[in-house]
Amino acid sequence: MKTRLRELREAECISQTALADILEVSRQTIISLESGKYKASLVLAHKIAQYFDKTIEDIFIFDLEEENL
């Protein structure tokens, strides 16, 4: 799953650590989300969307072929 998290975070001039603190996750979680190594839970995706005032679909790009569906 692709994500626009890094792009949005950098546009807000917020560090990975600061965003992790806001979302109550580890910095490693943010790193993994940005690199595509980790898929956010629905709850976390919702928190991220609320923080950036976007929809989940605006942040996370779901590719059916990539997911083998």
CATH numbers and ranges of domains, the chain: 2-61 (1.10.260.40)
Average pLDDT over residues 53-66: 84
pLDDT of residue 41: 95
Residues pairing with 8 in the sheet: none
Tokens of 29: 């979680």
pLDDT of residue 18: 98
Rounded Cα–Cα distance for residues 55 and 37 (Å): 21
Rounded Cα–Cα distance for residues 61 and 54 (Å): 13
pLDDT of residue 64: 61
Q: What is the pLDDT of residues 7-53, one digit of tens each?
A: 999 999 999 999 999 999 999 999 999 998 999 999 999 999 999 99
For the chain, strand residue ranges (E) read 2-3, 60-61
Neighbour tally for 28: CB within 10 Å: 12
pLDDT of residue 5: 97
